[in-house]
Amino acid sequence: MVLSISKYSRNFIQLVLLSFLFSCGNGDEKTDVRETDLLSQRAAFEIASVPLPVVSGDSILFSASVADSSLKFDSIVVKIDDQRILVWKEKPGSLLWPSANMGMGKHVFRLAGFYKGNENGSGSMIFSIASNIIPEEFGFEVVKTMAHNPSSFTQGLEWQSDKLFEGTGLNGKSFVMQINPSNGDALKKVNLDKEFFGEGITILNNKLYQLTWQSHKGFVYSLPELKLESEFGYPTEGWGICNLKGNLVMSDGSDKLYFLNSKDFHLDKTIEVWDQKYPVSELNELEAVEGVVYANKYQTDTIVKIDPANGKVLAYINLAGLLKKEDRLGNEDVLNGIAWNPSDKLFYLTGKNWPKMFAVRFIRKKAS
């Protein structure tokens, strides 16, 4: 077992050890440990709490006061998410801030107090913003059913013109392949080394991008020959991937989507995904269609429709019952694999080790 100690834990342990050493010394000796050393760890400002989560579009009232009257300030810098908003003179006050243009999820309100050019106190508060949209609810209609190779542990599915590509997972069973849509058999296939657990795929500019799970490494293949061309790295786990406006969008099983520049793979931005109440985690396989992102929610029969501009959940699609009990072979895993075919305007869906693939149309449920 490996004991992992965070930097905060280490500081706490060091403080306890110092206290122990001083307390075990000669009782008549005076130590040089000052209470101000401990007090300096306290926030210099008291910031009033705000309702959590804040609904997107609502104004947020931030209000603060000085926590220690002995501290002097000639200016107090106000920041939200590291963006400088304004400067208060000598004392903090109140700020009414609009949330309409802020992304979903966690944000930081921070005060830094200065005296004669030096920072001598700060305070911060984390707050969250939830969507102001009640997600629509969709069911589905099966338009056609095809065979799917039940040995394929599907991680990604992608159409390019009339060709269907699939990426699979598990160490030693991870491939990327062009498949026959009618039966799931491989027409072209590239095996990954056994060290790699394959994950999602997407196609951009006639190149296929494939993620791996925990190796922080992705692969780029040229099409149509499906030839390995290059590799790229990323800081998170790799789960799902799609492309949007010429760049790549990744998931890592959390409530976040990561936007990567497709030329040098640097991280452009990260968004959090929220509905009107909560963050939506377990985001897995991704597909971008007409400017929005669809994501499998791992270990559920749900696909989440997401606005990539701000992380708001636009709709939930319930796929329960897509693979019927009588069609199961006994080793099926969860729903995974979303491929939009623009030629027939249908979503092609399957799952890990499913014996079937389905072309479906999402149907909006009527309000009850």
Band of pLDDT at residue 281, cut at 50, 70 and 90: very high
For residue 331, the model assigns a pLDDT of 80
- Same domain? 123 vs 196: no
With a cut of 50, say whether residue 224 has pLDDT above it: yes
The structure's pTM equals 0.84
**5 found inside a domain:** no
Which residues span the domain enclosing 271? 136-364
Is 308 part of a structural domain of the chain?
yes
Of 83, 102, 130, which closes a domain? 130
For residue 34, pLDDT beyond 80: no
Mean pLDDT over residues 344-365, rounded? 96
Residue 168 above 90 pLDDT?
A: yes
CA-nearest of 254, 324, 328 to 295 is 254
Residues 276, 254: one domain? yes
Last residue of some domain: 130, 148, 170? Answer: 130
Residue 72 lies in a domain: yes
Nearest CA to 364 among 139, 134, 135? 139
**Residue 347 in domain:** yes
What domain count does the chain have? 2
Question: If you average pLDDT over residues 11-28, what whole number do you get?
Answer: 34
pLDDT confidence of 42, banded at 50, 70, 90? low
- Asked if residue 52 is part of any domain, the answer here is yes
Question: What is the per-residue pLDDT across 204-214, written as a single tens digit (0 to 9) for each?
Answer: 999 999 999 99
User: Is 251 found in the same domain as 194?
Assistant: yes
Query: At residue 9, what are phi and psi to the nearest 5 degrees?
Result: -65, -40
Q: Is residue 22 part of a domain?
A: no
Q: Is the pLDDT of residue 146 over 50?
A: yes
In degrees and rounded to multiples of 5, residue 12 shows phi and psi of -65, -45
Q: Are residues 70 and 162 in the same domain?
A: no
Q: Strand ranges (DSSP E) for 131-255?
A: 136-147, 154-160, 163-168, 175-179, 186-191, 198-204, 207-212, 217-222, 227-233, 241-244, 247-251
Element housing 19 (H / E):
helix 7-23
**Domain containing residue 227: CATH number:** 2.120.10.30
| CATH, residue 101 | 2.60.40.10
54-55 and 118-130 strand pairing:
parallel
Asked whether residue 290 is domain-assigned, the answer is yes
Question: 151, exposed or middle or buried, with CB in 10 Å at 0-12, 13-18, 19+?
Answer: exposed
- Measured between its terminal Cα atoms, the distance across the chain in Å is 54
Residues 123, 208 within the same domain:
no
| pLDDT, tens digit, 9 for 90 and up, residues 255-273 | 999 999 999 999 999 999 9
Q: Judge if 122 and 199 occupy the same domain.
A: no
Q: What is the pLDDT of residue 51?
A: 85
Last residue of a domain, one of 130, 159, 174: 130
Structural domain contains residue 37: no
Q: Are residues 65 and 147 in the same domain?
A: no
